Amino acid sequence: LGTRVAANQLPSTETASPQTSQLVETTSEATEVANHTTEPVTTSEVSSEASPVTSTESQPSSTTAETLASPQAVQATKEEKNLVANGEFISATAPSGNWKESAATDWETWIPNDIKKENGAVSIDDGKLHISSTNTYRVAVHQTVDVDPSKRYLFSYDVETKDLKGSGVRVRLRSLTAEGKDLSPQEFTFTNFVAGTQQRKVEKELTVSPETRKLKVELFFENGIGQAWLDNISLVEYAEKTPETPESSPELVQPETGKITLASNKVYLPVR
């Protein structure tokens, strides 16, 4: 006779699932290994015995590699050479002609015949050209420089006036031949008049005609009464500089955010 066995004593015929799911929790950076279950829990159910999590995420480097621009992207620029001699009026000699007290080296003066010399004075004042007058006065302080008609130039100077009445002060650039004679027809470039009481930096880009080989730089005090100071007279080759491209900052890696659903009977192991 067979032995009767209670139903609840029969061996279980249910087989365990051969698959185990392995899940890495990204928010706490811990690895969890356990059997699959469908009961959801929140990320706060982490074993209290787990060791502190060590982050293995590398931070972006703050250094930037040096890059070389192509020859087409950057225009070569030459060292600026001022064609005007003693444009800062730092070199002086004994006065002569229309100069008072001291004369600027490399510069000459001119006064028209109908203007009295005693109406004004031309001098060097604290490293600047100073022209003053108490009566209507007209004078030009000038020098001649060599130029290349195939090039562009930038002419600039600093000017200050005080209680200057009349036309004011300005600069005239006079084109000459290689022999120092006027072109035919004559060719001039003017800057704007400055009068009253003010300080200003004047800049002017210019090109000259193909026949021009010299420029006569003439600093004019035009039929005025008052005071004027001129300094930093400059004529250089014009070089258009390409603006530098700003370096781009490395992109920062943003941490992932979100909600993870985990099983309740999991064991969390810290990442070593």
Predicted confidence (pLDDT) per residue in 151-188, tens digit: 999 999 999 999 999 999 999 999 999 999 999 999 99
Give CA–CA dist 94/97, Å, rounded.
Answer: 10
> CA-based Rg of the chain, rounded to a whole angstrom?
43
State the DSSP H helix or E strand holding residue 103, giving kind and residue range, or none if neither: strand 103-104
Mean predicted lDDT score pLDDT of the chain: 77
At residue 240, the pLDDT reads 73
**All domains of the chain in start order, with CATH:** 92-237 (2.60.120.260)
Q: What angle do CA 139, 169, 184 make, to 5 degrees?
A: 70
Helix (H) or strand (E) holding 164, with range, is strand 153-176
Angle ∠(77,80,83) on CA atoms, nearest 5: 140
Residue with tokens 């880009």: 205
Question: Regarding predicted confidence, which is higher, 231 or 76?
Answer: 231
pLDDT at site 259: 73
What's the confidence (pLDDT) of residue 241? 66
| Dist CA 51 CA 90 (whole Å) | 77
Q: What is the pTM of this model?
A: 0.61
Q: Quick one: pLDDT band at residue 47, thresholds 50, 70, 90?
A: very low
Q: Retrieve residue 73's tokens.
A: 């992207």
pLDDT, average across residues 192-215: 97
pLDDT band at 265 (very low <50, low <70, confident <90, very high): confident
Side-chain-side CA neighbours of 116 within 13 Å: the count stands at: 6
For residues 114-124, average pLDDT: 95
